[in-house]
Amino acid sequence: MYQNKLIPKVNLIAEIQPQFSGSMSRAQMMVQQCKLAGADSVKVQLYDSQALFGNKDREYLQFDKSELKDLKTYCDHVGIELFASVFSADRVEWCEELGLQTYKIASRTIADVDLCKQILATGKKVLISLGAWDWKTKGMPFEDENVVYFYCVSKYPTINAEVEMPVFGPHQFLGYSDHTPGIGASLFAVARGAEYVEKHFTPNRALQNPTELAHLGGMDFDELRQLRNLTDEISMLRLNALEGAK
C-alpha cells in the first residue's frame, strides 16, 4: 500500500464537481480560486449519468473528452494538478491519453472489481474512499503499493457527530474526505496524522440544488485559504514533535 515519506505539507484536494454546475467558465474560475487559496490539486468526476445513476438528472454535469482536455490544459497553465474520480473503463482511457497522474476510486466503485483493477494497473497513485466499505470487518479491499486510503462518511452533508475520526498512519488511512460544513473536521484529521485532505470547493453555497448537495458541505475561498495556512502550521508542529521524540 502506498505511503508517503514524512513531509510537513498536507496535500489539499479541492473537488469542484458538482459545484461547477456544468459551466466550463465557472470550472475555470474555481480552478483559479483553488490555486490562489493554496490547494495542491483539483478533482472532477467522470461518469455517464444514465449508466451511473439510472437517469439523466446529472447529464448537465458530465465532462466530455474535449472538455476534460480543455480543463487539463487550463490547470496546467494555472499550475495545479487535475485528476478525477473515474466511473467507467472508457473514462480511464481518457485520463491515460491526457496524462493524468492520479486517480480516485469512489466508495461506490469498489464493488466494480474489473474497473478498480484497470485503474490500479496504471501504476499511478490511486486514492480510494472507504465510506461505503465495511473496513472494520473486511479490512482494506486492495493491497496494491500505489493505493492511498481515505476515511470518509458517505453523506452530503455530514454532521460532526457522525464522524468517527481514525488515527492516520502507514498501512491504514492516510487521507480524509470531508463532507462536513466548515473546516474543523479537516483540521482534526490533520492533527491525527492525515497526509491528504479532500473537500468540495464551492463558489457560493446558495447555488445548492438536489443534484449539487455538496455545496453545503463544501469550503469557500476563505475557508480553503485558512485550511492551507492552518494545516501547514499543524503539520510543522507534528514534524517538530516527532523530531523531538527521537
| pLDDT digit string (tens) for the chain, length 246 residues | 554 555 568 999 999 999 999 999 999 999 999 999 999 999 999 999 999 999 999 999 999 999 999 999 999 999 999 999 999 999 999 999 999 999 999 999 999 999 999 999 999 999 999 998 999 899 999 999 999 999 999 888 899 999 999 999 887 899 999 999 999 999 999 999 999 999 999 987 777 666 666 667 889 999 999 999 999 999 888 777 767 766
Angle at 208 between CA 202 and CA 67, to 5 degrees: 60
CA–CA gap between residue 20 and residue 140 (Å, rounded): 32
| pLDDT given for residue 78 in this prediction | 97
Partners of 125 in the β-ladder = 102
Nearest to 211 by CA among 77, 101, 59, 96: 59
- Residue 174 cell numbers, joined: 492516510
Stated pTM of the model: 0.93
Per-residue model confidence (pLDDT) at position 216: 77
Q: Which three cell numbers stand for residue 15?
A: 473537488
What are the grid coordinates assigned to 164, written together?
Answer: 468517527
Q: What is the pLDDT of residue 209?
A: 66
Query: According to the model, what pLDDT value does residue 241 have?
Result: 75
Domains, the chain, in order of start with CATH, read 11-244 (3.20.20.70)
HEC profile of the chain: CCCCCCCCCCEEEEECCCCCCCCHHHHHHHHHHHHHHCCCEEEEEECCHHHHHCCCCCHHHCCCHHHHHHHHHHHHHHCCEEEEEECCHHHHHHHHHHCCCEEEECHHHCCCHHHHHHHHCCCCEEEEECCCCCHHHHCCCCCCCCEEEEEECCCCCCCHHHCCCCCCCCCCEEEEEECCCCCHHHHHHHHCCCCEEEEEECCCHHHCCCCCHHHCCCECHHHHHHHHHHHHHHHHHHHHHHHHCC
pLDDT value for 94: 98
Q: Rounded to whole angstroms, how far apart are CA atoms 116 and 122?
A: 10
Q: Are 123 and 146 in contact (CB under 8 A)?
A: yes
Amino acid at 165: M
